[in-house]
Amino acid sequence: MSHKTYKLCLLLFLLSPIGLTATGDTRGNIYKLGVDLERTASQLAQSNYEHFRGWNAEFTDVEQSALFKSEAFVASCRQPVLPP
Protein backbone atom coordinates (compact mmCIF):
# COMPACT_ATOMS: atom_id res chain seq x y z
CA MET A 1 0.00 0.00 0.00
CA SER A 2 1.42 3.37 -0.96
CA HIS A 3 1.98 6.13 1.56
CA LYS A 4 -0.83 8.29 0.08
CA THR A 5 -3.32 5.44 0.22
CA TYR A 6 -2.36 4.69 3.82
CA LYS A 7 -2.91 8.32 4.84
CA LEU A 8 -6.24 8.45 3.04
CA CYS A 9 -7.46 5.25 4.70
CA LEU A 10 -6.34 6.53 8.11
CA LEU A 11 -8.10 9.85 7.55
CA LEU A 12 -11.36 8.15 6.50
CA PHE A 13 -11.17 5.82 9.48
CA LEU A 14 -10.73 8.72 11.88
CA LEU A 15 -13.53 10.79 10.32
CA SER A 16 -16.11 7.99 10.12
CA PRO A 17 -17.42 8.50 13.72
CA ILE A 18 -18.19 12.12 12.87
CA GLY A 19 -20.51 10.98 10.08
CA LEU A 20 -22.22 8.49 12.35
CA THR A 21 -22.78 11.13 15.02
CA ALA A 22 -24.30 13.50 12.47
CA THR A 23 -26.77 10.80 11.42
CA GLY A 24 -27.91 10.34 15.03
CA ASP A 25 -28.37 14.07 15.47
CA THR A 26 -30.49 14.20 12.33
CA ARG A 27 -32.93 11.61 13.69
CA GLY A 28 -33.49 13.66 16.82
CA ASN A 29 -34.09 16.78 14.77
CA ILE A 30 -36.57 14.97 12.52
CA TYR A 31 -38.43 13.65 15.56
CA LYS A 32 -38.64 17.17 17.05
CA LEU A 33 -39.91 18.53 13.74
CA GLY A 34 -42.60 15.85 13.67
CA VAL A 35 -43.73 16.71 17.19
CA ASP A 36 -43.80 20.42 16.32
CA LEU A 37 -45.74 19.72 13.12
CA GLU A 38 -48.37 17.72 15.01
CA ARG A 39 -48.73 20.47 17.61
CA THR A 40 -49.07 23.19 14.96
CA ALA A 41 -51.57 21.16 12.95
CA SER A 42 -53.68 20.58 16.07
CA GLN A 43 -53.66 24.28 16.85
CA LEU A 44 -54.67 25.07 13.28
CA ALA A 45 -57.58 22.62 13.39
CA GLN A 46 -58.76 24.05 16.72
CA SER A 47 -58.47 27.59 15.36
CA ASN A 48 -60.50 26.66 12.26
CA TYR A 49 -63.20 25.10 14.41
CA GLU A 50 -63.44 28.15 16.69
CA HIS A 51 -63.48 30.49 13.68
CA PHE A 52 -66.37 28.73 11.94
CA ARG A 53 -68.27 28.07 15.16
CA GLY A 54 -68.23 31.79 15.93
CA TRP A 55 -70.28 32.73 12.87
CA ASN A 56 -73.66 31.27 13.75
CA ALA A 57 -72.94 27.88 15.34
CA GLU A 58 -74.01 26.12 12.13
CA PHE A 59 -71.57 24.78 9.58
CA THR A 60 -72.13 25.07 5.83
CA ASP A 61 -70.86 22.39 3.47
CA VAL A 62 -67.83 24.52 2.58
CA GLU A 63 -67.02 25.09 6.25
CA GLN A 64 -67.42 21.38 7.00
CA SER A 65 -65.07 20.62 4.11
CA ALA A 66 -62.44 23.00 5.50
CA LEU A 67 -62.80 21.47 8.98
CA PHE A 68 -62.57 17.96 7.58
CA LYS A 69 -59.38 18.81 5.67
CA SER A 70 -57.73 20.35 8.72
CA GLU A 71 -58.66 17.31 10.84
CA ALA A 72 -57.38 14.97 8.12
CA PHE A 73 -54.09 16.87 8.12
CA VAL A 74 -53.82 16.49 11.89
CA ALA A 75 -54.52 12.77 11.58
CA SER A 76 -51.80 12.38 8.96
CA CYS A 77 -49.33 14.08 11.31
CA ARG A 78 -50.17 11.67 14.13
CA GLN A 79 -48.52 8.68 12.52
CA PRO A 80 -46.62 6.73 15.15
CA VAL A 81 -43.08 8.02 15.41
CA LEU A 82 -40.68 6.24 17.70
CA PRO A 83 -38.41 8.50 19.73
CA PRO A 84 -34.71 8.27 18.94
Q: CA geometry: angle at 25 spanning 19 and 28, to 5°?
A: 150
Cα(22)–Cα(29) distance, integer angstroms = 11
How many C-beta neighbours within 10 Å does residue 35 have? 13
Predicted confidence (pLDDT) per residue in 4-24, tens digit:
676 666 667 766 666 555 555
Predicted confidence (pLDDT) per residue in 23-76, tens digit:
556 878 888 888 888 889 899 889 888 888 876 778 888 888 888 988 888 888
Q: Using N-to-C axis directions, what is the helix angle for 3-56 and 61-77, rounded to 10°?
A: 150
